[in-house]
Structure 1
């Protein structure tokens, strides 16, 4: 793995983890589905405009259109829709821990439904990762964590797992920014009617804090992180790229504490480290043994 890929992976992990903090700010100040419709609509317009400026086209292959539709519905409408609604009652750090289960669920679902074999190390990693989540959530539930919010976040990560499995072979290709913009547009269209039905007339007030959170969500996790992810998958493959998710649990807890002042205890620290170890074990088990050493070598972009 070359240095550029490592830096892209680290950047993606940090942005992914920070997204839960900006989301928490937005959903406590305005209706969550409306916030997502606004985020997706603006993100789509920006990304598609950039794609046209870069000479990219809407003439996508069948596989690319499948990526647009599946990611737009499963990742944007379902995963983020459920997650943003659930985060009205669940803290950013807890939501980031739940979302970090995605690589574990992908490995389990691949074994259970697609008959993909699991190495003993991967099985052990699944057990370790789930144990870490149990450590964190059992303590938080005993301290009054909202059960409905937790269930919505769990349903959200299942939707993201489905999206990941369905388009697991998709890379960036020459139209990566166009794909990013179109899947955002699909998410906005899918959530517009539910937002109108469920949130009509719900009051909220614009503030600098809210605008800043939405702007960050649109530009950084919304466009930049998605672009980095597709590029990273193109460079090193989905399995190696997903290995960077092991950084999300500790980063999510740390960023929420620094940005929002969320409290955390030793159970959060220990549990997030255990989850990270489990994710890393699973991902390393899925990489061919010859590819395991991390060698930093020059590579032309």
Structure 2
């Protein structure tokens, strides 16, 4: 892995982890699904226009189109839609912790359902991840966390797992920025249906909402997704996923620093264990050197 890939991975982890904090601000002042549908509409249009300006086109392969649709529906509409709704009642740090378990779920699905071999280090990582999650969930549930919001986050991370398994097909073959823009437009189109059906256009306009919306649209929305696709195309999905071990730390730290969310000792212990489990799982997938 070269220095450029390392910098791309660090940038992706930081941008992805910050999305929970900015989303928590947005849902304080705007209906979640409407705000998210609008965010993806703006991000998608910007992405497509930039792609066209760079000479990219929408003549994608069948595999790429499948990836665009699956990624747009599973990550953008289901995963983020459920998380935006959930963060009306739960903290950004908890949403970030639940989402950060995605690499563990990907490894578990590959092991149990796809017939992928798992080394002892990977099995140990999965066990550690379960222990870390149990520590955090036990502490949060006893502290009175909203169960409905927590369940939505859990359903969302399953959708994110499906989206991640589809990324490799969408990342190969070029036109990366066009693919990013198109999958955001897919997510927007899906989200407008429940947004218009269930939500009222009740928005409290202030500078916090405007800054959070612009930041979420450009940085975690457009830039982080583009960097992730480029990183997967550069070093492969297995190596790229190693950077996910940073997400529990960065997600919790960002929420604590910017939103003042309190982090308990069990949260810290759980985050460290989950991060170690993610790293172990990803390292176990690396090819053995002769």
**Does the 8 A contact of 2:102 with 2:157 survive in 1?**
yes
The equivalent of 1:104 in structure 2 is: 104
**Does the 8 A contact of 2:170 with 2:179 survive in 1?**
no
Counterparts of 2:6 and 2:173, CA distance in 1: 20
**Does the 8 A contact of 1:172 with 1:231 survive in 2?**
no
Q: What are the Cα deviations for residues 12-46 of structure 1, in whole angstroms up to 9, with x where unaligned?
A: 11111111000100112111000111100000110
**Does the 8 A contact of 1:122 with 1:281 survive in 2?**
yes
1:203 CA displacement: 2.3
Q: What are the Cα deviations for residues 46-80 of structure 1, in whole angstroms up to 9, with x where unaligned?
A: 00010011000011111111111011101101111
Counterparts of 1:134 and 1:279, CA distance in 2: 15
What SS does the aligned partner of 1:289 have?
Answer: coil
Say whether residues 1:2 and 2:2 are aligned partners.
yes
Counterparts of 2:201 and 2:227, CA distance in 1: 35
Counterparts of 2:136 and 2:201, CA distance in 1: 33
The equivalent of 2:253 in structure 1 is: 254
In the TM superposition, 1:1-301 aligns within 5 A as: 1-199=1-199, 201=200, 203-290=202-289
**Does the 8 A contact of 1:66 with 1:167 survive in 2?**
no
Counterparts of 2:52 and 2:148, CA distance in 1: 42
Counterparts of 2:164 and 2:46, CA distance in 1: 24
Aligned residues: 290
Q: What are the Cα deviations for residues 151-171 of structure 1, in whole angstroms up to 9, with x where unaligned?
A: 000000000111122344442
1:202 CA displacement: 5.2
**Does the 8 A contact of 2:75 with 2:163 survive in 1?**
yes
**5+ long unaligned stretches in structure 2:** none
Q: What's the TM-score once normalised by structure 1's chain length?
A: 0.94
What SS does the aligned partner of 1:288 have?
Answer: coil
What SS does the aligned partner of 2:58 have?
Answer: coil
**Does the 8 A contact of 1:169 with 1:238 survive in 2?**
no
**5+ long unaligned stretches in structure 1:** 292-301
What SS does the aligned partner of 1:290 have?
Answer: coil
What SS does the aligned partner of 1:195 have?
Answer: helix
Counterparts of 1:106 and 1:9, CA distance in 2: 18
**Does the 8 A contact of 2:167 with 2:229 survive in 1?**
no
1:261 CA displacement: 0.7
Counterparts of 1:36 and 1:203, CA distance in 2: 14
1:220 CA displacement: 0.1
Q: What are the Cα deviations for residues 72-117 of structure 1, in whole angstroms up to 9, with x where unaligned?
A: 1011011111111111111011100000000000000111211112
1:207 CA displacement: 1.1
Q: What's the TM-score once normalised by structure 2's chain length?
A: 0.98
What SS does the aligned partner of 2:223 have?
Answer: helix
What SS does the aligned partner of 2:171 have?
Answer: coil
Counterparts of 1:141 and 1:282, CA distance in 2: 27
Farther off after superposition, 208-217 or 163-172:
163-172
**Does the 8 A contact of 2:8 with 2:227 survive in 1?**
yes
1:204 CA displacement: 2.2
1:172 CA displacement: 4.8
Counterparts of 1:169 and 1:37, CA distance in 2: 25
